[in-house]
Each structure stands twice: as C-alpha cells, then as structure tokens.
Amino acid sequence: MKFQKRTWSSLFIIALLLLLSACSGSDEGSTGKENSGDSDEASTQKITIFQSKVEISDQLEALAKEYTTETGVEVEVWGTTGDDYFEQLQIRLNSDQGPSIFSLQNVTEAEKMKSYVADLSSEAYAKDIAPGMELKVEDKIVGVPYGVEGFGLVYNKDLVKPEDVADYESFVSTLEKLKAEDITGLGLSKEAYFLIGHISNYPFSLQSDHYEFIDKLTSGDVTMAETKEFQEFGKFMEAIKANTPSPLDVTYDKEVGDFAAGKSAMIHQGNWAYGMLADFDVDFEVGMLPFPLNGTDKLAVGVGNNWAVNGKKDEAETKAAKDFLNWMFTSETGHRYIVEEFGFVPALTTIEANDLDPLSQDVLNASNSGQTIPWAQNYYPANIVPNDFAPKAEEFFLSKDMTGEEFIENLDDAWKNAVK
Amino acid sequence: MKKFYKILKELLLLIAALFFLSPIYIIIVNSFKDRQELYENVLALPKEFSFQYYIEAMEKMNFLNALANSLYITILSVLIIVVLSSMTAWMLARTDNKLSKIIFMIFIATMLIPFQTLMMPLMQFMSTITNTLHIPMINTREGLIFMHIGFSSSISVFLYHGFVKSIPITLEEAATIDGASKFGVFWRIIFPILKPITVTVMILNVINIWNDYLLPSLTLTDKGLRTIPLSTFYFFGEFTIQWNLAMAGLMLTIIPVVIFYVLAQKHIIKGIGEGAVK
Amino acid sequence: MQNKNNKGWYLLFTAPLFIIFLTVVVIPFVIGIYYSFFKWDGIGANPKVFVGFDNFIKLFGDTRFLESTWKTTLFTILAVISVNIVGLVFALLVTSKLRTSNAARTMVFMPYLIGGLILGYIWQFIFLDVFTLIGEVTGLENVFFNWLIDMDFALYALVFVFTWQMAGYIMIIYIAGIQSIPNDVMEASMIDGASWWQRLKNITFPLLMPAFTISLFLTLSSAFKIYDVNLSLTGGGPANSTEMFAMNIYNEIFGYGNYGYGQAKAIIFFLIVAAITLTQVYITKKREVEL
C-alpha cells in the first residue's frame, strides 16, 4: 500500500517536471534557431516590427524578407488587428517584450511613449521629410511618416462640380438639390473617425495657430461655442443632418458602396478609401475637394502613422532597427515598396511618386502647391474621438431637434471630460 | 391526438433550431462573395460557389501550421485541465473543512474578473517569471498552455464540484474499506462516473481555448506559433474587414470544433447509460 | 498516521492546479489591486503617484461609470432570465425523445461554437438588413427596425444576441442535469399516473437544482463580464447607451490611459458581482437535493 502511494506521487511529480522541462526545452530550441544563421556579426541580430496598419502586413513581410536576403538581418513582423494595436503595444512594452520598431499615430501617442522612442534626428533621411510632417517630441524627431494622407469631399465628377461646394450657401443648396433627386448629398459613416473625427478637424485647422487654440481650449480660456469657425461648423453639421440619411445606419463599407453605386454624390473620406473603391465597379471619375468651411479651398493633409524605434532595447538592436528604417527610406527597393506596394503618398521629398490613384494624386497636388491645412486632430487629447466626440455626434444625429449650436456646446463638454 | 402533438413539437423544435442556425447562413453565403456582391445583397445566394476565398484565406493564414499549433495547444491544455480539475474538485467536495471551502470560493470568485483587467499585470508577472526563473512563459506554446489551464480551472472545478456532490459517497467508502488508495478510488471508481460531466467540461474548454484570440495575441508573437484565430488578423483592417476572407477563415476555424462537438456529443448520450450506476 | 496521509493526498490532488491558478489568475489580480492605489497612465517608464483611496472615492462621482453600472445590471437581469428560459426549454424538448432532438441540439449549440468578435459584426448585418426588411414586409416597422441605433432598443439587441449565443451552452448544462435524473424515479411517477406538469414540478425541477445553480452562476457571471459582443455589436453606442462594465473599464484603462483608476473600477466591479453571485450560489445550493 505505502509503496503504491509513493509510486503514484513520484509519478505525478515526474509528470509535472516533464511539463516544466518541456517548456524550457522549447526555449532552447528557438534561441538555437536564431543563432543558426551565418557566422558574421550582423546576421545574429534580429529585429521585430509591430505596427497598426493591417492593410500593409503582407507587403511589409515581403519587404522584410528582401532585407534579410540583402543583409542577413532577420526581421520579424508581428500581427495584430487594427483596433487593439496600441493596447497590445503598451502591454508588451510594459512587460519587457516590446518590438524594436513600432508605429505611432500622432504626437499624443508619442508623448505618452516618450521614454521609449529613440531620437532619429541625426538619421540621414531625416532632413528629407516634408516640412512639418515629422513627428517631434521635445524638438527631437522620433517618428518618420508612413506617408501623407489627405481627406475632404470625395466626389463623383458626374454629379458634383467643384463650384457646387465652394462655400456654405452653395454646399447647402447642392445637398438640397441632390436630396430632391433622391441622391445622398454627403455620406458619412458610423465609425468614430468617419462620423466626427476627421470632419471635426476643420474648425481647429482654420485657427491661425491651432496648437495655441487647443491649449487655450484645454485651460478653459476659450470655448468652441464662442469661436466663429465652430459656429459655422455647427451650421454645416445641421445642414448635413437635415439633408442626408442618418450616418448611424451606414458602415464604412456601405458608405463607399453607395458612393460607387452612384447613390451618394459625395462622401467625407480620405485617399485611403480608394483601396476599397477599387473593389467596386466604378464607372465615373472621382476626385477630392476641400470641405468648404469658411469657404476654404485647402485639403486637410497630414500623417496618419509614423515609424518609431524602440530606444529601450539594447544598443545593437536599436542600431539594427535604425539601419532597417534607413534602408527602407534610402534604397530603391524601399522606395518601390512605399509607393507601389504600400500605396502611400510619400512624405519624403526624395521619393518619387508616379501612377498614383486619382485621390492620392489630388492629395499630392494639394501638398505640392501648399494648398493644405494641417491635421489638428493629431493634437487632440488621446482617444477623445472614440471616447467623447463620437457619443456626442451619435446623440446629435439621433435627436431630430438638436441644433448645431447645441452640438458644439456638447463638444465643449466632451473636451472638458477628456482633459480632466 | 397525441401523435399530432408530437409532430407539432417536432416541427416547432426544428423551426426554432433553424432560427438559431440562420445567422450562420450569412457567414457561409458571404464567404463566397466579393465586396461588390456583398454590398448589393447580404442575404442572397452567391453568384457562384467557388472556393477561391477559402484557398486564399488558407494561404494567408498559413493554415496547416496554424492548425497544428491550435491542435497542440488545445489538446494538451484540455487534457491537463480535465485531469487536474476533476481531482481538485473531488478532493474539495469530499473534504468538508474550512480550507476546502475557502479554496473553492477563491476558484469561483475569480470567474467574475473580466480578463481585460488582468492582462497587463498577467503579462508583467509572466515576463518576471521568464526573466528571473528562466522558465519561458511568453512566446512559447507551453507557456500559453499553462495560462489556459489557469484560466479554465475555475469553471472546470466548478462544474466537477457540482456533479461530484451528486455521486453517492457510499461507493467510495466501500472501496476505501477494500483498501484502495485515494488515487485508485478516484481513477477507478469516481472518474468513470464523472464521464458525462467530463465530456461537458471538455466541450466547453475546447471551444473556449480553440476560439481564444486575446490571450494568444498577447503571448505569442513568433509567426510560426500562431493559432488559427490569431492568423485571421490579416483580414481585420484598420477600418474595414475583408468579409469574404474573414468569413472563410471563420468557417475554417469552426469546422474542427464542430466535428469535435458532434463526436463528443455521442459520448454524452452514451455516458448517461453508463452513469446509471446510481 | 491516517490523518497525515490524508493531508498528503489532499495536497497531491489540489496543489498542482491551485498553484497554476494562483500564478495565472490570483497574483495578477493582486498586482492589479496594488495599482489601484496609484495614479498612473499605464506606461512602464512613466511615474506612478501613490494616491491612496482617491481612485475609489472618485468613482462615486463618475456619472458615466454609475450609468454603466445601472445598464449592466439591467442587461444582466434580462439576459439571465432569457438565456435560462430558452436554454431550459430547449433542454426539455431535446431530451423528450423526439426525432429531431439530435439535430436540434447541435443547431442550438452552434452559435456558441463560433466565438469571438465576428458574431457581433454578423448581427449588425442582421439588424440593419434583415430587421428593416421584415419591418417593410410585415408593416411592423415599430418592432422590426435597426435596434442598434435606438438608445433603448440597443440594449435589447445586446440581450437578444447574448441569448442567441449563450442559450445552447446553458442548454448543455441542463441536458446533463436532466439526464442525471435516475430513470426509475421518472418511471415510478409515470406509473403513478402523474401528469407531465406534475412530474416537471415535483421531480424534474427539484432534482435540477444543481444544474440551476451552475447555469444561473454561469449566465450571471458572463453577462456581467460581457465584452466581445458589446464591442463588436454596439461598440457601447449609440451615445454610450450600451457601455457595459467591462467596456467602461477597458476604455478607462486603455482609452483614457487612467490605469490606476481603471483598476479601482475593476475592483469595485468585482466586489459587487462577487457579492451578488455568491449570494445566488449560496441560496440555490441550499435548495439542492443531495442524493
């Protein structure tokens, strides 16, 4: 009896030990794999990339492969879906499992990650970044744009002429005219950024100094409700609500589908929407026009994503990461990938862009001729768009009698909540 | 008259079940459509049933490799969970003292913690274990299995505990008098009786572990280690989903669990016959 | 000696699982409690400031959190009732020896096999396209419309989808319970001429008490913790009207970057749910019939 018990317990302990050793065993296996490359120094280095634009994952992996063949440095691209990227990045950095290269959307994110981002100011390509497009924290360049992007009124050239939407009066009468023909004048969709995020950008961008304005708004020195551009923006939103179907019923897919089918004449979107538009049979010409708040004729052009290097990794890895970015921004292969494979409007003056799609071409033209207003949304408090602006916008579109003025007051409250 | 009622019941049941199944129709038909077709009508049958999106999804997901990972992780986790949690539950249910009650309470109370609030400290702690004890918890399949066991233990112990209580204690007392050790009593007498609930525990854990996205997405970064749900990330863009690929990927994900479920179900029914020991 | 042996067995049977469980669940939870006393944005290198109980005090003035508490409670009550009724009815039907039983059992369970986020997206299609279509065809446009953009109905939509997903799971538990009812008891009652309802009330339900305990606890806890369906179906909208607890906490931690405050919410949340569910388990356990 006694003997039997002891055998059982020892068997059990052995089983547990086996399990644990299986764990540690597999680790040796994987490190062994890493070192099994060539014997020269560079090849033992491995870098990892973690980024949020799922649409380019495939192409990025291909680029990484080319880099490995050329230099021997192993590059691993991690995957994540678009919506939980920043949470995952945060968790990984906190548990010392961070990637060597990661993406950041804007200054607010960069400020948050201040202690992790490496200084890229002295990199060779840094001087070539289009003016004002670099991601800076405390005067150091910490992020290089993926590309520039622009948004505005994406329009069907058969249904709308540029002079139809040149100012508030013409904009409203165009919406009314289209409504009478049973066509949606301007389509928005329910995703936070497409519902309110991008469009809310205009009254901020039109301030003479939007940084200062945002600071004052945060400190409570000004309110949106008392600012002229916002009052006008409220009127625009009211006109959109009055003359188009509720965007809360519309997904991004449907927004673009309706536009492609000719059911809506304009949608408020950016050049990225072309990728989706190409999936539909579109038998008319498309282009992008400025949203005529205060009669402006400039497109909102900015940067949606930036590459950043993790400065908290050991020196060799940080250097290898910088080398990779340097290669991507200076080599011919890198340039080809950025323009042709990723489909970006390049943000580096040294990269030439040919054969852009019509929307990207409009963005590039505006950017080259300086007809642009900035993306003030990059300086909004973190996540204010999904957390605070979107609920207010939903409320606005749900309640038939909320005026544009009340909506702006609500946005003031949302801002206060986000910065408290 | 009685027959009429029976037929009515049959029909009602079938209609209700079809209603439950109907959203799955949407998944299937749309896995054959391109974006234009999907936009035109979500409900219509596809113009043609070509498996191109399935093939494309399989290629992008690196399906066979992901399948192997998923199988390895799920099978190992579930087997260990069944062994450990049935033993624990039986011991806790049969040893009626304060300690047992406290342990059992801790097990069930933690079922109420949303995973989202645990993930950051969990990853920090796992990384500490990796760095100090040199047991690689992160980015290994075994580490993930370990965590799956931990997270599934509450519900498994809870389910077993409830059913152990319904087994007459006299059975094991008789065996103990015959001189069998606790180990022998458990494996030779109790565990066979627990078969129906074991199958239930297995089904639930297989599904949860097989479909889990969040935990593997935090722990596995190596491309070669990705499970099936992890490999579908390619189809979920920043603002839009590649519906056809995502739906095809989803079908590929659930087919193995459906097979498992149908097979396991037979055992539940069979298990009842055997369980009639009482 | 016997006693000492028993201790050894006790340890051998319970310790392995309990140790794994401690490492994976309990210790991280305790670390989380520790963070709830700090003001911290969740970035490792950024400063953590000790604030004592401030985070907990702040909670009671947070209207969005309180609103979400109320919404979660309402959702949970509705969800627990509907999941258990649907699950139990199906369990009774499929165990009553009908020809369609097997097929039905698999079909009802199917939704649970499809986990994750994509369910919510599919239901978005259904509410948007199918519901509006039914509304147009039948003329019942005030019942069948897109529930997701109505501040009140969005919550019912959540209950609806949650029931659709969970009912099969709960059905499985009830089936196991029904099938463990000894056959002879049933047969004896049939011979005695008890009607279907009498058998249900006097035999099935009392003997199903353990299954009730389990099912209620499972639905209660998963309804309270609901996150995936919430995120993919309504995203908390419209206008935050369906932002449940777990989502509110998640947004606090990762959306606003208030890590410590979010953890404080999580702990309060845990205490509330634990109090409710443990009371429920205690009450139903008392009513269980031990064999």
Percent of chain A with pLDDT over 70: 90
Residues of B in contact with C225 (CB under 8 A): 112-115
Tens-place pLDDT, residues B27-36: 999 999 998 9
Other Cβ atoms less than 10 A from the Cβ of C217: the count is 23
Cβ of C5 under 8 Å from any chain A Cβ? yes
Predicted confidence band at A132 (pLDDT cuts at 50, 70, 90)? confident
Q: What is the pLDDT of residue A13?
A: 53
The closest CB to that of C106, out of B13, B163, B262, belongs to: B262
Please compute the mean of the pLDDT values over residues B45-60 and round it to a whole number. 91
Q: Give the span between the Cα atoms of B175 and B79, in whole angstroms.
A: 26
Quote the mean pLDDT of chain A: 88
Is the CB of C31 less than 8 angstroms away from the CB of B121? Answer: yes
Q: What is the pLDDT of residue A34?
A: 38
**Are the CB atoms for A354 and A161 separated by under 8 Å?**
no
Cβ of A246 under 8 Å from any chain C Cβ? yes
Cβ of A383 under 8 Å from any chain C Cβ? yes
Cβ of A392 under 8 Å from any chain C Cβ? yes
Q: Which residue has the higher pLDDT, C6 or B65?
A: B65
Q: What is the pLDDT of residue A27?
A: 42
Q: What is the pLDDT of residue C73?
A: 92
Tens-place pLDDT, residues C6-49: 888 899 999 999 999 999 999 999 999 999 999 998 887 788 89
Q: Please state the separation of Cα B117 from the chain's center in Å.
A: 21
Say which residue the tokens 């089936």 belong to: C175
Q: What is the pLDDT of residue C242?
A: 94
Predicted confidence band at B274 (pLDDT cuts at 50, 70, 90)? very low
Query: What is the token pair recorded at A214?
Result: 């945002």
DSSP letters, A168-213, are HHHHHHHHHHHHHTT-EEEE--SSHIIIIITTTHHHHHTSS-HHHH
C188: pLDDT strictly greater than 80: yes
Cβ of A92 under 8 Å from any chain B Cβ? yes
Q: Give the span between the Cα atoms of A190 and C149, in whole angstroms.
A: 10
Residues of B in contact with C122 (CB under 8 A): 23, 26-27
CA distance C236 to chain A (A): 9
> E strands of A291-365, at which residues?
299-302, 306-309
In the three-class reduction of DSSP (H, G, I as helix; E, B as strand; rest coil), residue B44 is classed as: coil
Q: What is the pLDDT of residue C228?
A: 87
Which has the closest alpha carbon to A381: A197, A258, A245?
A: A197
pTM: 0.87
Q: What is the pLDDT of residue C290?
A: 52
Interface of A with C in 154-213 (CB under 8 A): 190
Which has the closest alpha carbon to B73: B179, B261, B182, B227?
A: B227
Least confident of A201-210, B30-39, B139-148: B30-39
Count Cβ atoms within 10 A of the Cβ of residue C243 and give its class: 0-12 exposed, 13-18 middle, 19 or more buried: buried
CA distance C43 to chain A (A): 6
**Are the CB atoms for A281 and A78 separated by under 8 Å?**
no
The closest CB to that of A79, out of B120, B138, B233, belongs to: B233
Residues of B in contact with C14 (CB under 8 A): 87-88, 91-92, 103
Q: Give the span between the Cα atoms of C271 and A163, in whole angstroms.
A: 62
Q: What is the pLDDT of residue B1?
A: 67
Query: Searching chain A, which residue's CA lies closest to the CA of residue C146?
Result: A249
Query: Searching chain B, which residue's CA lies closest to the CA of residue A20?
Result: B135
DSSP letters, B235-261, are GB-SS-B-HHHHHHHHHHHHHHHHHHH
Other Cβ atoms less than 10 A from the Cβ of A244: the count is 21
C244: pLDDT strictly greater than 60: yes
Count Cβ atoms within 10 A of the Cβ of residue A417 and give its class: 0-12 exposed, 13-18 middle, 19 or more buried: middle
Please compute the mean of the pLDDT values over residues A114-124 and round it to a whole number. 93
Tens-place pLDDT, residues A361-407: 999 999 888 899 999 999 999 889 998 999 999 999 999 899 999 99
Please compute the mean of the pLDDT values over residues A278-302 and round it to a whole number. 94
Cβ of B13 under 8 Å from any chain C Cβ? yes
Q: What is the pLDDT of residue A21?
A: 47
A26: pLDDT strictly greater than 50: no
Neighbours of chain A (3+ CB pairs under 8 A): B, C
C101: pLDDT strictly greater than 90: no
Q: What is the pLDDT of residue A37?
A: 37
Cis status, amide bond into C238, omega within 30 of 0: yes
**Are the CB atoms for A233 and A396 separated by under 8 Å?**
no
CA distance B56 to chain C (A): 19
Longest dimension (CA), chain B: 74
Residues of C in contact with A387 (CB under 8 A): 251, 255-256
Least confident of B12-21, B70-79, C269-278: C269-278
CA distance A391 to chain C (A): 4
DSSP letters, B67-110, are HHHHHHHHHHHHHHHHHHHHHHHHHHHHS-SHHHHHHHHHHHHG
In the three-class reduction of DSSP (H, G, I as helix; E, B as strand; rest coil), residue A344 is classed as: coil
CA distance C88 to chain A (A): 35
Predicted confidence band at B277 (pLDDT cuts at 50, 70, 90)? very low
Cβ of C254 under 8 Å from any chain A Cβ? yes
Query: Searching chain B, which residue's CA lies closest to the CA of residue C219?
Result: B112
Which has the closest alpha carbon to A100: A115, A85, A118?
A: A118
Query: What is the token pair recorded at C210?
Result: 């353990």
Is the CB of A418 less than 8 angstroms away from the CB of C146? Answer: no
